[in-house]
Structures are given as C-alpha cells and as structure tokens.
Structure 1
Amino acid sequence: MKKITLLIIGIILSYNSYSLVESNKENELGENLKVDVRMTLPKEIIKYVVYASSDEGKTMEDTLVLPDFVMTQDTTKAGFQGATAPKVYTKRVVGGKVENLSSTEKVTYELTHPDGFMPKVLNDTIKESSTSYRNITGYLPKSTLTQIVNMLGKDYVVSETGSIRKGSSDAVTTPAYVPGAQINMHNNKGILETTTPSYTHAFQIPAEDISKIETFIGSGLPLAKVSLKVSIN
C-alpha cells in the first residue's frame, strides 16, 4: 500500500479587535472626571479537519492510503488496480460538528517529497479547481531511483522531478521511463481526488531498458514519505 501523510498548516484562524475609551476627561468646570477604560475583545476561532475517506467521510483516516499502482507500459494494466483511491476532505468544525466549507474559503494542497522532487510550482501546489499531473517515479525515494539508473548505466540520470531519463536534460523531448498511467490529483472545493488515467509518453527509452526497470520493480516498491500540506485562505 502507498501512504501519503496529511499535514495541516494554518488550520486555526483568529482575530482580535480592541476599542479604548479615554481614561480622563475634563468637564465644563475644569474638574477631572474619571472614566473607566472599556475594552471589547470579539474573537472568532475557526477550526478545520483534514482527513482521507473512501466512504464519503463515514470513516476518517489521517493518512491517504493509495491502492497498488502497477508500473508497466501496458495502458490496460498500468495504474491503480482493484480499488478506487480514497478522497481527501477539508471541512469546517463548528460546534463540534463537521460542516462543508463556506463559499469564500479556498483550500490549497501542496505535495512535498523528502528528496525535493516536488518543488513549489503550479503542478504541485494544487489550488482550487486545479490538477497535479505526475509520473509515479516522482513519488519514489531518490535512493531507489539511483539504484535503477546505476543498473541501467548508458548515461541514465535521475532528474530534478524524479524521472528516470536518458540524458541530462529535463526537457519533455528527452527519452524517459514513463508507465502507461500517471497520477492525477484534482482539487474540487477542498475535496482532493486521486486517479490514474492512461498516458502515453512520446519519447520512451529503449524497450530492453524498460524491461530491466519493470523486472527490478518486481512485486512492488515503497513510496517515499510524501506529504500533503494543507492551507486555507
């Protein structure tokens, strides 16, 4: 199983406003009148909850557990197998009850990778109504990818985005190992849905090297400790 930890930032919002009345005031006779200082402290605390669920929130988990992903060039077999990925929900907590966000609240999910494969760019900062499109290799640990490129040799490298490429360039025209499905994460009103639609990369590495990679993968590889940071505006 592939686990992605859910982190929350900026989950408690509050504001304070103060109003003061002058402590001394002179009356018409020139005498000082003592006036009490009054202070008003209206305060609002908004709390949120972020959780993963595969049954519309009946069961809440603090970790997004993805189904097994099959890494193959065969588009009929690549991607999640046998199950739908749980969705990630961000909700308000009002009076102890979980409620939908207001129309003015916007949620942003940010993918983070311990080896830096997911920098803060549009594709990894998933704002309202946007989608992150990624190659599954970008979720693997750099140590695993390094093992693979060392096995292949022939000028193979691990790119800055976690791709296995033949050549140092990270351009889209550089041959790379890209399975027949990618991972998409779409944010719709604070609900993050993960899917694995079919995908064909136009610049593939040689077939014999693809075979070596998929043999190396064998029965599965663990993901790196990828996290989703959540912010609310």
Structure 2
Amino acid sequence: MIVTIDGPAGSGKSTTAQRAAAQLGYVYLDTGAMYRAVALGFLRADAPATPEGADRVLPALDVDVAYRDDTMQVVLGGEQVSTQIRTAEVGAVVSDISTLAPVRDYMAEEQRRIGHEQAEEHGGVVLDGRDTGTVVFPEAAVKIFMVADLEERARRRQQEYEAAGEDVSFDEVRAEIEERDRQDRNRDIAPLRRAEDAVVLDTTDRTIAEQVSFVVDRVKAHPAWGT
C-alpha cells in the first residue's frame, strides 16, 4: 500500500510519517530529505539554481536512501548526509532548486522507483513531501494533507536547526518558512496543494502521538489494509 503525507514546511510530516510507518510495519520515505540532498549537491558543485545548473549537476548526481534499524538515511554520492542536509544553508536554497523542471522530473522518477520497490518488499510505504499525493503517487491508497499555524511551524524548524548545531533566530526561521510557503504555493511546476481525495490533518494543537494515530487509523480503515 502507498500512503502519502503532504503539507508545508514544519507541519510535522516527517516525524508523523516515520512513526506511522513503524506502527504499520511499513517503511518511510522522506522525499523532502531527498530534495535537500539534491540542494546539497548543487551547493557542493557551486552550481546556480537554474536549468543550466541542473544540466551540470544532475547527470553526475547520485541520490539514494538506505535503511538502518528501520531508519531512513539519505545518501549522496555514497556518503550518508542526513545531518548535512538539515542546515540553514541548504534550507535557504532548496525551494529554488526544487522548482526546476529537470530536478522535479528526476526526483519524481526516483521516488516512484524507490516507493514501488519498498512497498513490494515491505507491504507498504509512507512518503511525505509536497506533491507525493498529487504528482508522484496520485493513485496512492491513503492521502493525508497536514497543516499547522506559522508560529508553531517556525518553532519546530528552529528546533531542527538547533539539533544540527545551527544558531538561527526565530524571526529568521519564521521569515524563511513564510518565503518557502510563498514559493511552494506559487511555483508553476507541481505547486503545493491538497489532493482532492486527501484528508486534512491540522497538527497545531495535536501531540505527535495523536497525529500518528490519525494516520494509522485511516490506513487500517482502508479496504486494502492487510491484503
């Protein structure tokens, strides 16, 4: 079974998707982390966020995922970069890079490949991102669209930066998320939007456990569960 969780930055997609996958016995695929790995590849190549930059970076780019103790790790050119992709430097450029048509085409193809492989091997996969239910897997069995208010999302993202050793003010993080929201919703290619058949989950005042239960309950209520 394919389960997609989409939503804006800081809405709680990654934590919820990862824990829901564990409870369901599925694997978790963080598509946003994969885009961050692409952005890190651009930064390391000193390439601009332009089609020309994509033409230079993508042919040599090798983004993949690995699972260790059921935890997803992002791999770039054979190097595990799950911590490096969570820096403010990567966060500042990932949206511009992810709007490029060649990048989105490359990533959608890779995400479909990995998603189908993992679903076949483990019985199901839970993906989170911004277009997993609209572009990558429009045929997904269960689709969730997560939202939360801006202040709460900024607080969560600042905690991520602190965990990565980054000293970024709350105001800076809030402004970054506001700009990311604007870019994600207004881009021409695969803008952030709720799929018509997606269920909305507002996480502003919900605990992580409540968010996970919401997703797990809907998956188990689907006719394909357990088949």
Please indicate, yes or no, whether the TM-score normalized by the shorter chain is above 0.5.
no
With CA pairs under 8 Å and 6+ residues apart, which has the higher RCO, 1 or 2?
A: 2
Q: TM-score, normalised by structure 1?
A: 0.22
Q: TM-score, normalised by structure 2?
A: 0.23
Bigger fraction of residues in helix = 2
Find the structure with the greater CA-based Rg.
1
